[in-house]
Amino acid sequence: MTAPDPRLSINQATIKYAPLAEALHLTAGAGITSIGLWRDSVEAASLPEAARLLAGSGLRFSSLCRGGFFTVPEGPARRVAMDDNRRAIEETAQLAAAGAPGSAAVLVMVAGGIPQGSRDLVGARSMVEDALAELAPEAQAAGVRLALEPLHPMYASDRAVISTLGQALDLAAPFAPAVVGVVVDTFHVWWDPELTKQIARAGQEDRIASYQVCDWQTPLPADVLLARHYPGDGVIDFAAITADVQEAGYRGDIEVEIFNQEIWDTPPGTAIARTIEGFGSAVSPHLLQAGARR
């Protein structure tokens, strides 16, 4: 078996059905040194217990998924969403403190779609601006970085009105880079004709908070949320995108986050082994050695 790349982080979604303790155990047992967690799993264990288990695993913590879903008009429902984001900020801070050195206090933010019954995409996007203005001071106080994730445009109506890296950078611009960054997830952005340019811009503006890798294949499955594949199993040019992200200065952990029913239906140990292999062949060859600079 390939030795895991030292920058590889398993995003817990890839082994969705493993409870937190098992996910940590399998990840560390496979020689992987970092993990990205999901809130439902953390909350199922309770935050203090999750932090304890994470600390005991010896793993770095690379991100918490996810905050956001704040494209809600002002009113009680929006207040509920904002309070939920406050809890997510607190969870991120505690988990980052519990993780091994090199952990990242990164909260991945998925914006949310167009409000039910509305056609006002522009208005929904402005709700994201307002929410960031409200949450950024609290994230800053907690030492947490909000990482805006552009999602593939096929999710623009029902999941994320942030659709391109350029748009995410525009939304991040009013805030300090240490407080609001962006996620570069290959699955969501690989198609973008502006990608190389916007990754370079993200580097210049010091905004890359997370680099996530998984692959794109067609035909898409019936549920397009579950369309992700192991790196190397599809059409994404990981050599080019990884080089762009390195060139932009990102040196953090790289998460593999896969939503795919077939992969979820395999034993989690198998999914981890395949992730190590896919990452090792599709991504690792394009990473700079530790400490190297172009």
| Residue in the block written with tokens 């909350």 | 43
Q: Which residues pair with 182 in a beta bridge?
A: 148, 208
Q: Is 192 in the site for a second copy (CB under 8 A)?
A: yes
Q: Is 75 in the site for a second copy (CB under 8 A)?
A: no
Pairwise CA distance, residues 148 & 109, whole Å: 5
Q: Is 153 in the site for a second copy (CB under 8 A)?
A: yes
- The dihedral through the CA atoms of 168, 169, 174, 176 has a sign that is positive
| Residue in the block written with tokens 């496979």 | 30
DSSP letter string over 92-112? HHHHHHHSPTT---EEEEE-B
Least separation in angstroms between CB 252 and a second copy: 25
Q: Is 289 in the site for a second copy (CB under 8 A)?
A: no
Taking the least distance from each CB to a second copy, the nearer of 218 and 289 is 218
User: In Å, how far are 147, 150, 153, 160, 184 from 157, measured between CA atoms?
Assistant: 20, 13, 8, 7, 20
Please give the structure tokens belonging to residue 10.
């398993």
Taking the least distance from each CB to a second copy, the nearer of 40 and 120 is 120
Least separation in angstroms between CB 138 and a second copy: 26
CB 8 within 8 A of CB 256: yes
Least separation in angstroms between CB 128 and a second copy: 11
**Which of 63, 94, 164, 212 is close enough to bind a second copy by CB under 8 A?**
164
Pairwise CA distance, residues 139 & 209, whole Å: 14
Percentages of the chain per state (helix, strand, coil), in multiples of 5: 45, 15, 35
Least separation in angstroms between CB 237 and a second copy: 5
Pairwise CA distance, residues 190 & 211, whole Å: 12
CB contact set of 182 (below 8 Å; sequence gap of 6+)? 147, 148, 149, 150, 165, 168, 169, 172, 202, 207, 208, 209
Phi, psi (deg, nearest 5) at residue 30:
-85, 0
**Which of 141, 191, 267, 270 is close enough to bind a second copy by CB under 8 A?**
191
Q: Is 233 in the site for a second copy (CB under 8 A)?
A: no
Q: Is 220 in the site for a second copy (CB under 8 A)?
A: yes
Q: Is 228 in the site for a second copy (CB under 8 A)?
A: no
**Which of 92, 167, 212, 242 is close enough to bind a second copy by CB under 8 A?**
167
Taking the least distance from each CB to a second copy, the nearer of 85 and 164 is 164
Least separation in angstroms between CB 158 and a second copy: 4
- The contact pattern for a second copy, residues 109-148, with x = CB under 8 A and - = no contact, is -----x---xxxxx--x-----------------------
Taking the least distance from each CB to a second copy, the nearer of 78 and 125 is 125
Of 199, 194, 266, nearest in space to 230 by CA:
266
Least separation in angstroms between CB 182 and a second copy: 14
Footprint on this chain of a second copy (rule: CB under 8 A) = 114, 118-122, 125, 152-154, 156-158, 163-164, 166-167, 170, 190-194, 216-220, 222-224, 234-237, 240
